[in-house]
Amino acid sequence: MRPNVHNFAQNLAMASALALATVSLAGCGQKQEMTPPETEVGIVTLKAEPVTVTTSLSGRTNAVATAEVRPQVDGIIKDRLFQEGSLVRAGQALYQIDPRRYQASLDTSRAQLENAKATLYSAEAKVKRYNSLSDKTAVSAQDFDETVATARASRASVHQYEASSRSDAVNLEFTRVTAPITGRIGRSAYTKGALVTSGQSDALATIQQLDPIYVDITQSSADLLRLRRSLAKGDLLPSSTKVKLTLEDGTTYEREGTIEFSEVTVDTQTGTVTIRAKFANPDGYLLPGMFVRVVAPQGMLSNGILAPQQGISRDAKGEGTALVVNAQGKVEQRTVVTGQAIGTKWLITSGLKAGDRLIVEGSGKVAPGAKVKAVAAKLSQ
């Protein structure tokens, strides 16, 4: 029985040693799990910089000048001399009205003028002969007076037919309908063979001058006053500063314009005013009636804070939040208030300051209080 007791003691000692080793290894494993490696996050160090604050004003484009082409004489259109939708120049022929009747009228008045000139010549010659007579009693006073009166009447007839000839020449010229201004012409409302009349209400076509082009903006009078006060301050941008245009599809128009406050009228019914911006439009890219937004500079912040938009999120209440890496290398959550978007960044009004390290990459992998490894993020501007 003693050998069995001895073997039992040895087995019990070995089992105890094995259990102690297992507990020791398990303890080491637990210690490793409690100190995981630091998560790497991309950060941007915020800085104070001059920021231009802008305001966005909605409006519609309008032509600088609009001319409705109408006939000034009656007649049948013989031909249309332009291509619809093309650019026409002032004085360019657009329509040709049948000129034959007006040419005949001009020929008649010219013939009457020649006849009147001949009568005047005869009457003036007779007056000269009477004046050259040495014996003044050879012609009665009545005959002399009648001759002088005839000469004067003939001179009046000449003036009358000269005026008639000029009027007929103008009417003949009006048979060739020309463009009153330079601009883009729309569709033709009349075709070849149509009868047109002087003073008709319907226009033959409409021409719009599109370079430059206006953008009329409707704003409340209160907003306009605030904008004008901002522009008038010495530390803000002047009213002559260039403004930009955003088109309906969200793209930015390549040319800058200027705001003109000279054409402001207040609508007493709605309390709104219409201000006007002018843009160059040499390619005719902007067309009348387009809905656009004018981005106008309103002021300059000397120490503005701009934060990348990917570093700002919203909570369930809609409040802005941001994760920053503090001086101890731990994640800290901030509640921020954002202003307007400037490019791909938010203008921060509170919650962040210059020198804060804002997490813009890897924020979904960390939580407030976690220790992280911060590396500079490479963001496209």
pLDDT (tens digit, 9 = 90+) per residue, 131-179?
887 666 677 778 778 888 988 998 999 999 999 999 999 999 999 999 9
**Residue where a domain terminates, one of 274, 300, 326:** 300
**Domain with 132 in it: what CATH number?**
1.10.287
**Domain with 362 in it: what CATH number?**
2.40.420.20
DSSP state of 303: E
Q: Is the dihedral of CA 172, 175, 176, 177 positive or negative?
A: positive
- At 236 the pLDDT is 43
The count of domains in the chain is: 4
Same-domain status, 258 and 289: yes
Mean local confidence (pLDDT), 280-298 = 86
Instruction: Express each pLDDT in 47-70 by its tens digit.
Output: 988 887 777 788 899 999 999 999
- At 326 the pLDDT is 92
Per the model's pLDDT, the better-predicted residue between 261 and 147 turns out to be 147
- At 362 the pLDDT is 87
Using CA atoms, how far apart are residues 218 and 277, in angstroms rounded to an integer? 11
Same-domain status, 75 and 195: yes
Same-domain status, 312 and 361: yes
**Does pLDDT of 296 surpass 80?**
no
Per the model's pLDDT, the better-predicted residue between 27 and 258 turns out to be 258
Same-domain status, 324 and 371: yes
**Does pLDDT of 108 surpass 90?**
yes
Mean local confidence (pLDDT), 266-283 = 82
Q: Is residue 3 part of a domain?
A: no
**Domain with 250 in it: what CATH number?**
2.40.30.170
Model confidence at 241, in pLDDT bands (50, 70, 90)?
low
Same-domain status, 78 and 193: yes
Q: Is the dihedral of CA 281, 286, 291, 295 positive or negative?
A: negative
Q: For strand 244-246 and strand 291-308, is the pairing parallel, antiparallel, or unpaired?
A: antiparallel
Q: For strand 93-97 and strand 87-88, is the pairing parallel, antiparallel, or unpaired?
A: unpaired
Same-domain status, 185 and 291: no
Mean local confidence (pLDDT), 85-107 = 94
Residue numbers of the domain that contains 84? 71-91+181-202
**Residue where a domain terminates, one of 300, 334, 353:** 300
Instruction: Express each pLDDT in 311-333 by its tens digit.
Output: 999 888 888 999 999 989 999 99
**Residue where a domain terminates, one of 285, 300, 315:** 300
Same-domain status, 237 and 337: no
For residue 188, the tally of other CB atoms under 10 A from its CB is 20
Same-domain status, 45 and 122: no
**Does pLDDT of 184 surpass 80?**
yes
Same-domain status, 252 and 268: yes
Query: Which percentage of the chain shows pLDDT scores above 90?
Result: 42
- At 78 the pLDDT is 96
Same-domain status, 261 and 187: no
Same-domain status, 195 and 85: yes
Mean local confidence (pLDDT), 30-51 = 77
Per the model's pLDDT, the better-predicted residue between 229 and 371 turns out to be 371
Residue reference for tokens 């048979």: 175
Q: Is residue 326 part of a domain?
A: yes
Between 7-21, 105-119, 169-183, 230-244, the lowest mean confidence (pLDDT) is in 7-21
Same-domain status, 217 and 279: yes
Q: For strand 39-45 and strand 372-376, is the pairing parallel, antiparallel, or unpaired?
A: parallel
